[in-house]
Amino acid sequence: MAVAVPLSRPISQPAVAWKVIAPLVALHAVLFAIDLTHPERFLRADRAEERIEVIRGLAAAAAKGEALPYLAANGIVGDWLPQGLVYWLGGQYFLIALQVALALLSVIWVRDIGARAGLGERQAWSAAALYALLPHSLVFPHELASEAIFVPLVILAFRASALHSGVAIGLATLVRPLTLLWPLVQAGAPWLSARKRVVFLAAAFAPLLLWMAFVSTQTGEFSIGHSGHDLGTNLQARTQRMAASLPEQERAAVPPRDQKRISIGEYAAFAAAHPVVVGSYSARDMLIVVAKSGIERLTIDQLGLFPQVYAQVDDGSGWRPRLDKLGLLATLKEYVRAEPLLIGSSTAAALLFLFFIGLATVGAVGWLRSLRAVSLDQRVYRLLIAGFVLYVLITAQCVDYPQSRHRAPAEFALCVLAIAGWDALRRRLSEKRHGN
């Protein structure tokens, strides 16, 4: 985060790192073998087929001399161009290999973050290993998913010094704008001098401002660009989803269905007019983001189990639309009848993940209670790690149909907190056994 942060132990010890990384390399090699035999699964990430079409379209636009207008007309550039360039250079498997390498580096960075937060050597590596084995960490590197580059950039932003941290979070924002406001939070860290704060903020916002300036030259509009998944589009789709539950006479004030996107102000006005509806949907969406483990990324997307369920997701009749239409119990009954093994594995994973979230909560509370017992630098670092989890959960409310993948940027922080929570519980039990 900043070079002034004291490290309690050396970062990334190579010998220890290899003991953790080697089994992960073997595991990803197995998943890579599946990639080779089932190349179509590369496009099972959300919006992957849309992304590959945009990537292929750039080549056609370049051949016509229209590359620059094409770039400006296809949303925020980081969502597809970095992976597109690698895809052109070496193809699908070269891109997967680089994404796996980036994921393995992220594991080492998570260990370093844990060490900086005050975890012991074993605990820091445990947090890194836990992160590496989460479903999203395993699967996203093998898909054309924006998370495959977005999440490592976010982790690097917590690992790097002030200047490099700013560059990393700035590039991450060019992939997915949900981190747009985070630099303002991070810049408040008291370990940053005024000069470093300016450098950090300049580095964090420069990539986005440069991109917006480029879009302005092509479209005349100073914006990050429009797409079918930008903020305004998501807010409009979210509003229409909630408006469908309103009585007919109350729908007149809702933005028209054929309006492509709405502003934050229009969404805020809808929320103010219908707080109960918005609150209930937000609570359910938050529960999904927190409790859903993401195991389906592994069982359905990567391993190809339950193909009928994947077909339903692909044709737009998946579980989220059914949940809105039928309710929770009816949706569960339907899936239990059709795919009992899927419901069983997903339920078991969800319960295990809730236990993980519980440990992270214990870790966060323990850190808050013991802030005075640690140095100022470590205190702020812990607050930023815990605060980023809340930041991600809040920004997920801007997305239509939030999913477990929207939690992925914060999973490294949750792993650090979970190990801190586990260590606190273990020490507490040991003290009770010894009568302390």
Collapsing DSSP to helix, strand or coil, 248 comes out as: helix
Distance CA 364, CA 263 (A): 34
* Lowest model confidence (mean pLDDT) among 77-91, 103-117, 230-244, 389-403: 230-244
* 399 pLDDT tier (thresholds 50, 70, 90): confident
What one-letter code names the amino acid at 396? A
Distance CA 300, CA 307 (A): 7
Q: Which of 121, 12, 5 is nearest to 423 (CA)?
A: 121
Residue 400 parent element (H or E) = none
* Lowest model confidence (mean pLDDT) among 116-120, 188-192, 210-214, 343-347: 188-192
Distance CA 133, CA 50 (A): 28
Q: What is the pLDDT of residue 1?
A: 44
Number of C-alpha atoms within 13 angstroms, CB side, residue 380?
Answer: 16
Comparing 94 with 429, the larger pLDDT belongs to 94
* 7 pLDDT tier (thresholds 50, 70, 90): very low
Q: What is the pLDDT of residue 245?
A: 80
The residue with tokens 């970062």 is 11
Round the average pLDDT of the chain to a whole number and report it: 88
Spatial CB neighbours of 387, under 8 Å, sequence gap ≥ 6: 185
DSSP string covering 74-108, please? SS-GGGTHHHHHHHHHHHHHHHHHHHHHHHHHHHH
What one-letter code names the amino acid at 27? L
Q: What is the pTM of this model?
A: 0.91
Q: What percent of the chain has pLDDT over 90?
A: 57
Q: Which of 116, 153, 104, 151 is nearest to 420 (CA)?
A: 116
Query: What are the tens digits of pLDDT across the range 269-307?
Result: 888 888 988 898 888 889 889 999 999 999 999 998 888
Comparing 395 with 16, the larger pLDDT belongs to 395
Comparing 374 with 173, the larger pLDDT belongs to 173
CA angle centred on 399, ends 204 and 299, rounded to 5°: 100
Q: Look at residue 333 and tell me whether its pLDDT is greater than 60.
A: yes
Query: What are the tens digits of pLDDT across the range 14-50?
Result: 667 788 899 999 999 999 999 999 999 999 999 999 9
